[in-house]
């Protein structure tokens, strides 16, 4: 099944100026893409400039239509993004916002999000995952991927919400807990991150890395005794891990330093 959509066509103008006897500077503002500027030798042609744009934006096609001594016009043709589900094919334009009601469209929007992520078009990927979630609120992979992108963009509060949705759907989805811990740490909420570490440990009491992470957080907020207990737990699971042993020694040193400071004040 193919849901046809027209190509997105946008005309743009570009200009070029002689920098010196040997080089041109070509500049253009491309709709939905932004400013592009290149310096090329005078032996190059306008098509070389268009090819440079094409290399940086492989999802578009650019056709040269007119030129003069100082400017030229061209047309961008942006193919719809295509995704396949089993034997069915769906097409989406970059600005497609028509939410569908069929469950298979949620998978299509999810695949669209993955493609946009690969193209590093993060905001559009988020929108695609949101469309999938709008169709299927329990689409766990869309919640998770959306959370990862939000965290990467520094939107940690929003990413925590996405990971909470993953955990709501599947309370044993350990990776979502890890991502939530990371987002909480990056947003400065160490005590909340410690609480999530406890959630992970309750699911898997042999998760040495989470004991270690909890210990680091406790050490950072000055709870040295509890930090040492966490490092002991991680060492018990992985006795030959030097990272865990070093962390315990550091927490012990921090405790000694704090005790010495308190004694000197007394």
- pLDDT tens, position by position, 164-186: 999 999 999 999 999 999 999 99
Q: In what order do the strands lie in the sheet with 60-67?
A: 34-41, 23-30, 8-18, 71-78, 60-67
User: Which domains are assigned to the chain?
Assistant: 8-78 (no CATH), 80-188 (1.25.40.10), 193-266 (1.25.40.10)
Residue 3 pLDDT greater than 70, yes or no? no
| Contacts for 14 with CB less than 8 Å, ≥ 6 apart | 26, 27, 28, 49, 71, 72, 73, 74
Residue 38 pLDDT greater than 90, yes or no? no
More confident residue, 26 or 226: 226
Which residues face 14 on adjacent strands? Answer: 28, 72
Contact assessment for residue 41 and residue 22, using Cβ atoms and an 8 Å cutoff: yes
CA angle 238, 243, 244 (to 5 degrees): 50
Rounded to whole angstroms, the Cα distance separating 75 from 81 reads: 19
pLDDT band at 55 (very low <50, low <70, confident <90, very high): low
| Residue 14: its H or E element | strand 8-18
- The confidence score (pLDDT) of residue 28 equals 52
- The confidence score (pLDDT) of residue 108 equals 82
Percent of the chain at pLDDT exceeding 70: 59
Mean pLDDT, the chain, whole residue set:
75
CA angle 176, 181, 187 (to 5 degrees): 125
More confident residue, 242 or 72: 242
Residue 42 pLDDT greater than 90, yes or no? no
Q: Which of 74-88, 110-124, 167-181 has the lowest mean pLDDT?
A: 74-88
The number of C-alpha atoms within 13 Å of 231 and in the hemisphere containing its C-beta is 23
- pLDDT tens, position by position, 14-25: 444 444 445 545
pLDDT band at 129 (very low <50, low <70, confident <90, very high): very high
Residue 213 pLDDT greater than 80, yes or no? yes
- The confidence score (pLDDT) of residue 13 equals 47
């Amino acid at each position: 099944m193919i849901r046809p959509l027209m190509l997105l066509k946008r005309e743009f103008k570009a200009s070029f100026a002689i920098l010196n006897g040997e080089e041109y500077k070509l500049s253009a503002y491309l709709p939905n893409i932004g400013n592009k500027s290149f310096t090329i030798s005078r032996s190059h042609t306008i098509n070389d400039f268009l090819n440079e744009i094409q290399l940086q934006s492989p999802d578009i096609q650019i056709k040269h239509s007119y030129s003069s001594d100082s400017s030229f016009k061209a047309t961008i043709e942006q193919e719809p993004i295509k995704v396949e589900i089993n034997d069915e094919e769906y097409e989406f334009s970059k600005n497609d916002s028509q939410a569908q009601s069929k469950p298979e469209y949620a998978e299509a929007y999810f695949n669209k999000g993955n493609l946009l992520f690969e193209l590093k078009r993060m905001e559009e990927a988020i929108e695609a995952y949101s469309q999938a979630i709008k169709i299927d609120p329990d689409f766990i992979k869309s919640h998770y991927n959306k959370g990862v992108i939000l965290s990467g963009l520094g939107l940690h509060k929003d990413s925590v919400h996405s990971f909470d949705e993953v955990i709501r759907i599947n309370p044993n989805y350990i990776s979502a807990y890890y991502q939530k811990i990371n987002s909480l740490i990056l947003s400065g909420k160490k005590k909340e991150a410690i609480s999530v570490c406890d959630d992970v440990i309750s699911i898997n009491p042999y998760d040495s890395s989470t004991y270690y992470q909890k210990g680091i957080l406790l050490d950072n907020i000055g709870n040295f005794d509890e930090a040492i207990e966490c490092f002991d737990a991680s060492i018990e699971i992985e006795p030959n891990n030097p990272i865990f042993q070093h962390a315990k020694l550091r927490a012990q040193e921090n405790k000694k330093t704090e005790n010495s400071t308190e004694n000197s004040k007394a």
